[in-house]
Amino acid sequence: MTQFVALHPQLHQQLRVDTSRIEALGAQQHLVPVVLSEFLKLVVHYPIVFSKNSETGQFVCSALLGFSAGENLFWRNGEWQGIYTPLQIMRQPFFIGEQQGQTLICIDVDSELLKTGKGEAIFDNQGQETSYLQQAKNRLAALINGESETQAFIKALLTLNLIMPMALDISFANQQQQRIQGLYTINEEALEQLTSEQLLQLQQRGYLKSIYTMIASLGQIYALIQKKNEQLG
Amino acid sequence: MNNKIASVVIVGGGTAGWLTAGRIAAQHRTQTASTLSVTLVESPNIPIIGVGEGTWPTMRSTLIKLGISETDFIRECDASFKQGAKFARWVTGTPDDFYYHPLMLPQGFGKTNMAAHWQALRDQQQVQESFSAATCFQEAICELGLAPKMITTPEFNSIANYAYHLNAGKFSTFLQKHCTEKLGVQHVLADVVTVNSADNGDIRSITTAQAGEISGDLFVDCTGFQSLLLGQHLQVPFVDCSDVLFIDNALAVQIPYDSEDAPIASHTISTAQDAGWIWDIGLIHRRGVGHVYSSRHTSEDEATARLANYVGPAFKNANLRKIPLPCGHREIFWKNNCVAVGLSAGFLEPLEASALVLVELSASMIAEQLPACREIMNITAKRFNETFRYRWDRIIDFLKLHYILSKRTDNDFWVDNRDPATIPQSLQQLMQLWRYQPPGDHDFTSNNEVFPAASYQYVLYGMGFETCYDNSSHLLRDTQFAREQFIKNKKTIEQVTRSLPSNRELLQKIHLHGLQTL
């Protein structure tokens, strides 16, 4: 269950966020939505792909963590095996809400992170924001700005027909075959055929480096297959 | 090359006119390399009839060829998804009497004839479901009001095959905008005053009240029932088919939904009445409901009462339109340099939504076979006439099939329909064959078939027809394979009913978010 409540200094002064348990919340996610500003950190571990939001059908950028729903190959022995975890997970238990046109910070009061009673305080005894909350707010700001930036990036790519479905047929070490559907990537052939004017526009908007980061990140699929083989073996 | 075909003039601006103009313009890239001009002349005073609210799945490829976005089409034409037709009360007339004609082939079709296996296993009480329910998962989706795809499915792609229900008036306006803005079709608003002949009997030009004389090399008659060019000017006679199909009138209403979240049926519902049937088509904002009937077998008052009874309390607020329906087609469709498309070519009752598909097929053949010059046009015309005469005849056979298998006796309408004197020889022969073998691809070998053998199977076995296999045991081999197909169908039903959204939910999401092109 999740229940979002607007953050309030008096109501939430006693709450403690058990930050050691944040990453466990992503233990069963095989795709995590990500934003452009994370790309250079993500590429260290994860294939960055396009996928569709199942509720709206709209494209999002996602880090690929596993090969089927519920499978996160980076979660092993109760730990996230990686030096960078996507913002979408690290922002827990906070969310951006909206009330009468104003954005405000909400907390999921049913979150697992609040149940141990241990961890970081959100407000101090005077009801002032802790530095922990300030960091959390920075993460939320990065996410909310990043989401609109990423949407603009995707829109520009769709207009230039630079997105294409990704055919992924994988044979694992135990001979198990799997066809992964619903993932999309950069259409490199279409990219090569862009006019210099179109390329210049992509470069000026800062999209060209994101495009090449996404292409380069696909190499991480082999690392992901290896992780899967290790689990199978 | 003599007398190059350089200009096509389409007279009439309903869906027939705009679909034809769009197909020709798109095929010949009129907007860029303008070796061909396409002009559509439309009267500002004659209203569009707009009968066609149901399409075939072919409309998807037509829209793709015109370069139309499916999201735009669905949003601007109030379109919804159609996954076939449910025929209610056609066999016995009782409330539980229904069968489906879905848009997908029976599971395993083409590998073995499932109709034979279904009948045999049903007789052994090993299959309980009707033919359509046992062999095609689409019936289950329709019964649950589910959409044929998901919001993540790209434009024009499907999980279950689909066509559309649409608002014909809005569709015309939408096509007009697309054809004039994107495809380079010239639009002239003018009333035709006279049609002017050349020495060889061709149409040289039309004289209009507002835009003077407009000449052309090929004229397409899309003037509706009046058939101004082909029927009136070129005197091509009308072949009346009301001796086979008795429907001659329609009463139509538009009914709002009870609530904003009322289900939208994802199939056409056709409910038989004492002397005709009622169509029920769900669009996004309203339903289109109408009663087509035979005036030889019932009165307008009685037909109105039947429709009122079907619709319920909402009927009293509805605006009732009466439309007389001809039944038949022109003797030929292309004469000299004039070809008729749409109602000007003919009309048959809308039981299987054949009106728009005939427009698409005609537009497609004209666009792809457009003669390069006048000297070969008579050959093209001859081929066009043979092709479409064949298609009209097959559609008439298929429509008649729905009537001859009924067991209803409540009105002479049904009894007269079963009178062999009213059944075309071609259909009688097929019925004789099907007493001993199920419909198969060998029965329909032309390149110009409209309905596949599967459609005949759905209607025949949906209506309780029995084929005798006593001397044809070879048709009942592969029993194991057939059993697997029945199981496969059940599994597919479980899968898709878990994942597909309701028809309304998907349509609302498309209005909100749009579909992706990939």
Specify the pLDDT at position B197: 97
Model confidence at A165, in pLDDT bands (50, 70, 90)?
Answer: very high
Token digits of residue B517 = 């092109």
Identify all chain B residues contacting A55, using CB atoms and an 8 Å cutoff. 151, 509
Query: What are phi and psi for residue B329, nearest 5 degrees?
Result: -150, 165
For residue A162, give how far its alpha carbon lies from the nearest alpha carbon of chain B (Å): 11
Enter the DSSP assignment of B450.
Answer: S
Residues B286 and B255 sit within 8 Å (Cβ to Cβ): yes
Predicted-complex ipTM score: 0.85
Check if the beta carbon of residue B176 is closer than 8 Å to that of residue B18.
yes
Over residues B118-125, the mean pLDDT reads: 94
Residue B49 to residues B259, B317, B320, Cα–Cα distance (Å): 29, 22, 14
Band of residue B488 on the pLDDT scale cut at 50, 70, 90? very high
What is the spatial distance between Cα B101 and Cα A76, in angstroms, rounded to a whole number? 52
Q: What pLDDT is stored for residue B2 in this prediction? A: 65
Q: What is the pLDDT of residues B205-227, one digit of tens each?
A: 999 999 999 999 999 999 999 99
Nearest CA in chain B to A154: B516
pLDDT at B50 > cutoff 80: no
The alpha carbon of residue A7 is apart from the nearest alpha carbon of chain B, in Å, by 30
B381-429 pLDDT tens trace: 999 999 999 999 999 999 999 999 999 999 999 999 999 999 999 999 9
The answer to whether the CB of B503 falls within 8 A of the CB of B509 is no
| Higher per-residue confidence, A201 vs B448 | A201
Say if residue A218's pLDDT is above 90: yes
The two three-digit tokens of residue A154, written as one number = 């995707």
**Interatomic CA distance for residues B254 and B315, integer angstroms:** 9
Q: For B341-381, what is each residue's pLDDT tens digit?
A: 999 999 999 999 999 999 999 999 999 999 999 999 999 99
- Indicate whether B325 pLDDT > 60: yes
Answer whether residue B17 shows pLDDT above 90. Answer: yes
**In the structure encoding, which two tokens stand for residue B450, read together?**
């409209």
Q: Inter-chain contact B151–A57, Cβ cutoff 8 Å?
A: yes
Q: pLDDT at position B52, please?
A: 57
Q: What percent of chain B has pLDDT over 70?
A: 98
> Does the CB of A182 have a partner CB in chain B at under 8 Å?
yes
Q: What is the largest CA-CA distance in chain B?
A: 73
Over residues B248-273, mean pLDDT = 95
Helices (H), ranges, B284-441: 300-311, 354-369, 377-404, 412-417, 425-434
Q: Which residues does chain B have within 8 Å of residue A182's beta carbon, measured at their own beta carbons?
A: 152
Greater confidence, A187 or B32? A187
Backbone angles phi, psi at B347, to 5 degrees: -150, 140
Task: Give pLDDT tens digits for A77-132.
Answer: 999 999 999 999 999 999 988 888 888 899 998 999 988 888 898 998 888 999 99
Share of chain A above pLDDT 70, in %: 100
Would the pLDDT of A182 be above 70? yes
Closest-approach residue (CA) in chain A for B499: A54
This prediction has a pTM of 0.92
Instruction: With cut-offs at 50, 70 and 90, classify the pLDDT of residue B34.
Output: low
Q: Which residues of A touch B515 (CB under 8 A)?
A: 57
Residue B141 structure tokens: 């989706």
Whether residue B287 is predicted with pLDDT greater than 90 in this model: the reply is yes
User: Would you state the pLDDT for residue B317?
Assistant: 92
What pLDDT sits at residue A103?
83
pLDDT tens for A50-62 read 999 999 999 999 9
Interface contact flag, A54 B152, Cβ < 8 Å:
yes
Contact A59 B516 (CB under 8 A): yes
Cα dihedral sign, B129-B130-B133-B136: positive
A152 vs B: CB within 8 A: no
Reduced to 3 states, what is the DSSP secondary structure of residue A99? Answer: strand
Q: Which residue from A53, A56, A164 is facing B518, i.e. has the nearest CB?
A: A164
pLDDT in tens, B160-179: 999 999 999 999 999 999 99
**Band of pLDDT at residue B507, cut at 50, 70 and 90:** very high
Please judge whether B512 and A56 are an interchain contact, meaning their C-beta atoms are less than 8 angstroms apart.
yes
By the 10 Å C-beta count (0-12 exposed, 13-18 middle, 19+ buried), B90 is classed as: buried
What gap in Å lies between CA B276 and CA B13, rounded to an integer? Answer: 30
Using a CB-CB cut-off of 8 Å, the residues of chain A touching B74 are: none
Q: What are the residues whose beta carbons fall under 8 Å from the beta carbon of A101, sequence distance 6 or more?
A: none
Using the predicted structure, report yes or no on whether residue B51 has a pLDDT greater than 60: no
Q: φ and ψ at B113, to 5 degrees?
A: -85, 100
- pLDDT for the residue B110: 85
* Mean of pLDDT values over B238-263: 95
Asked whether the beta carbons of residue A59 and residue B517 sit closer than 8 angstroms, the reply is: no
DSSP states of B247-308: --EEEEEEEE-SSTT----SSEEEEEETTEEEEEEE-SSEEEEEEEE-TTTS-HHHHHHHHH
Q: B517 to chain A, minimum CA–CA distance in Å?
A: 9
Task: Let me know: does B68 contact B366? Beta carbons within 8 Å.
Answer: no
Placement of tokens 């601006």 in the chain: B13
CB spacing of B151 vs A55 below 8 angstroms: yes
pLDDT at A64 over 90: yes
Short-list A53, A50, A79, A32, CA closest to A157? A50
Q: How far apart are CA B282 and CA B288, in angstroms?
A: 6
Please report the residues numbered 3 through 62 in chain A whose beta carbons come closer than 8 angstroms to any beta carbon of chain B. Answer: 52-59
Nearest to B106 by CA among B402, B457, B463, B480: B457
pLDDT number for residue B33: 66
Is it the case that residue B281 has pLDDT exceeding 80? Answer: yes
User: What is residue B47's predicted lDDT score, i.e. its pLDDT?
Assistant: 76
Given pLDDT bands bounded at 50, 70 and 90, which one contains residue B73?
very high
